[in-house]
Amino acid sequence: MSETAPFDTPAPQDAHRFPCDQCGADMRFAPGQNKLICDHCGNENEITDDGAGAGPWDSAEGGIRELDFRSALRDRLDAAEMEETRVLHCDNCGAQVTLAPEVHARECPFCATPVVTDTGTHRHIKPQALLPFQLSERQAHDAMNRWLGRLWFAPNGLSDYAKKGRKMDGIYVPHWTYDADTRTRYTGQRGTAYYVTVRGKDGKTQRVRKMRWTPVSGRVARFFDDVVVLASRSLPKRFTDALQPWGLEALTEYRPDYLSGFRAEGYTVDLDEGMAEARAIMDARIRSDIVRDIGGDGQRIGRVDTEVSDVTFKHILLPVWVAAYRYRGKPYRFVVNGQTGKVQGERPWSVIKIAIAVILALLIGAAVLYGLQLAEESGIEFGAASVLTTVPQTG
């Protein structure tokens, strides 16, 4: 996006700072409380809707206004939908994270790599909505420790290191959501099951299921609402996808207040790239619709032609607590859903614990085999004794 920032746009370094009106210290958003708190003097300010950021909020419809996908691709979004921020860029994982003005160097919250920031700014599509953090750092840390505690083969050293309470980073991770109206024509085959009786080589008969296929064609339609696609490459997608589902019904209008004390990652997956992934999600659901529409006992899908129209999108931020540790030279990353407390991460393995488990399993297996052998030998001797006692006496 190449448009020039409007004169009334707040300076990037001031956008997410909220000084306390009692002592002047920076206030932070309190997860789950919808207010800003000053850790210095304890002052509290409720977050109220004063019309800030009213651009993306469609009060007439009672929800967050969707943006037109094609207009965005042609770089024709209103200037009010754009923003300029200063970010940290990590060359190791590719993360782009917004920074406070006084910060010039720090450790990447996603991979624990020491990085030095550039001093430039990035212009991009402004977030329209976000899910505010509901879990505090302490609650997220407890959830992570419980998750680690359930991993039997995790190194004790890593678990102990994590439990010492090293700070976690609260980050709003960028996502795209897409809406689209779809109409699909398809061809395929419907299977009708029938049974025949066949005789085997042993002379026994059995019923065998067969399928009779009939050509079919039809149409299905579906409106997709809020197909969620991760707009970041800084964390493994399998982690962030596994944090779902998100309660998007709790989305609220984007306001810098919610970012106070947290950071927001800039998107690195462009809008059209995200749409390609959204289409893959849509196509999978459409194929499920076709299967149901064909019916019968079996289904084969042939040609599929889908018309997609009225595509709109939102840029939203979702809350994630991130912990990145380096243990014995290897990085470990854990993520916690800041709304639900669901945990995902790189599963650590302890070679010592695995070796001990293997040795114990071998010992147990050897003991079981030895016991079976003894039982078998005892059974033979007992049988022989029984035979001797039943021999009739002669003479």
276: left (phi over 0), alpha (psi -120 to 50) or beta: alpha
What pTM does this model have?
A: 0.74
Q: pLDDT tens, 344-359? A: 877 654 445 555 556 7
Determine the Cα–Cα distance for residues 370 and 393; give it in Å rounded to an integer: 38
Determine the Cα–Cα distance for residues 16 and 52; give it in Å rounded to an integer: 13
At residue 97, the pLDDT reads: 67
Mark the ranges of the chain whose per-residue pLDDT is less than 50.
Answer: 1-14, 51-61, 102, 119, 153, 349-351, 381-391, 393-395
Torsions phi, psi of 133, nearest 5?
A: -60, 135
Q: Report the relative pairing of strands 96-98 and 44-46 from DSSP bridges.
A: unpaired
Determine the Cα–Cα distance for residues 260 and 272; give it in Å rounded to an integer: 30
> Residue ranges of the domains in the chain?
49-184+216-352
At residue 12, the pLDDT reads: 38
What lies within 8 Å, CB to CB, of 352 at 6+ separation is: 155
At residue 77, the pLDDT reads: 82
Per-position b or e across 146-175, b if 16+ CB within 10 A of its CB: ebbeebeebbeebbeebeeeeebbbbbbbb
Torsions phi, psi of 219, nearest 5?
A: -135, 145
Torsions phi, psi of 241, nearest 5?
A: -65, -35
149: amino acid identity, one letter: G
Sheet with strand 44-46: strands edge to edge: 28-30, 35-37, 44-46
DSSP 209-273: EEEEEEEEEEEEEEEEEEEEEE---SS-HHHHHHTPPP-GGG-EE--GGGGTTSEEBPP-S-HHH
Evaluate whether 28 touches 37 at the Cβ level (below 8 Å).
Answer: yes
| DSSP type of residue 26 | B
SS3 394: coil
Torsions phi, psi of 85, nearest 5?
A: -135, 155
Sheet with strand 121-125: strands edge to edge: 96-98, 82-89, 121-125
At residue 111, the pLDDT reads: 66
